[in-house]
Amino acid sequence: MDIDICSYNGYSGVDGDRLYFIDKFYGFLYIIAPSGTVLQRHLGLGNGPNEIFFRPGQRSIFVDNELVIFGNTYDAYLFNDLQNRETIRLKIPEKRNSMDDFGVYTTLDVVRKSGERYYCFIYSENPFCNPVLHSKDYFSKAHIFMEINLKNGEQKPIGHFSKHYIENHKNLNHLFLTYYDIDKKGNFYVSHQADSLIYLYNAKFNFIKAFGFKGVNMDTHYGSALPSWEDFNKVCAKDYPNKGYYTWLEYVEETNMTFRSYQKGSHTEFDGLQIYKDGVLVADVEVPKKFRVAGYAYSGSS
């Protein structure tokens, strides 16, 4: 791709029939044709109405020609049609003593949009309940997504871990990441980092069905992180680069296909990609390390 000013460090995705790339360091948003031709460049670091005054983080989403960036202090920034930055203040938590209080969670990357609401993956390091010191309670009670309403600034934690995590909490408390996508009806497609099943929930997060198989040639002999942060850090350092686990999920509504990426482990130079059609596995193929499907760019010609 012929990008004139670029750090090559940022976040990409698909918006309709176009690709996009948000440069983490320069703050530029590039709109790119599927052929690789750069169509437009927007934003950039600065304090003007159409600029970003901080480096954008992973919690960014570009969809329907609208860019939303979530800050780190209960703030969000909306660029409608990539013009006229609007600053939005999110609600500040009043309580932090229950897993149902949004203030106990930290929001991470993987932002998705459904209707007028946005969603982020969340986790908690709260002393009274976290995956390191209280793994069974955490996987039983904690939520996995934050629902964010930009119109009123309200945030609400939703969703839960699968039974697989509750039953195997001693060996999975360092593999608590969740990947997901949302279709146009608001249904959630959810894949936990160390669970071979993919879970389908409706817009109210009621369970519909589960499908999926373990990836081929995955090393899932995980270490056990005993209840201390020191042990947790040790097993993370050992398992993350060497073991097998699921790393991404993308649902393509135009073809009714679910793509799930996974790491096989350090014993092989390849990773894996599963392709499901209507919930049925149609392919499980070797791919380059870190490979993932970002979306589907429909040209309208086929």
Query: Can you give the CATH number for the domain in which 29 is found?
Result: 2.40.10.480
Q: How confident is the model at residue 164 (pLDDT cuts 50, 70, 90)?
A: very high
Last residue of a domain, one of 42, 74, 89: 89
**Does residue 234 form part of some domain?**
yes
Q: Evaluate whether residue 136 is within a structural domain.
A: yes
Whether 301 maps to a domain, the answer reads no
Q: What is the pLDDT of residues 126-135, one digit of tens each?
A: 888 899 989 9
Domain that holds residue 256: 91-294
How long, in residues, is the chain? Answer: 302
- Structural domain count of the chain: 2
Q: Are residues 203 and 241 in the same domain?
A: yes
Q: Which residues contact 160 (CB under 8 A, 6 or more apart)?
A: 142, 143, 144
| In-domain check, residue 219 | yes
Provide mean pLDDT across the span 264-276. Answer: 98
Q: Are residues 98 and 184 in the same domain?
A: yes
Same structural domain for residues 27 and 164? no
pTM comes to 0.92
d(CA 194, CA 246): 6
From the number of C-beta atoms within 10 Å of its C-beta (0-12, 13-18, 19+), residue 198 rates as: buried
Flag whether 145 is in a domain: yes
Instruction: For residue 284, give the nearest of 292, 296, 276 by alpha carbon.
Output: 276
Strand blocks (E) in 74-184: 75-80, 83-89, 106-107, 112-114, 117-123, 145-149, 155-158, 178-182
Q: Tokens standing for 192?
A: 């936990």
- End of a domain among 63, 89, 115? 89
- In 3D space, the residue among 77, 81, 58 whose CA is nearest the CA of residue 68 turns out to be 77
Give the domain-ending residue among 89, 115, 132.
89
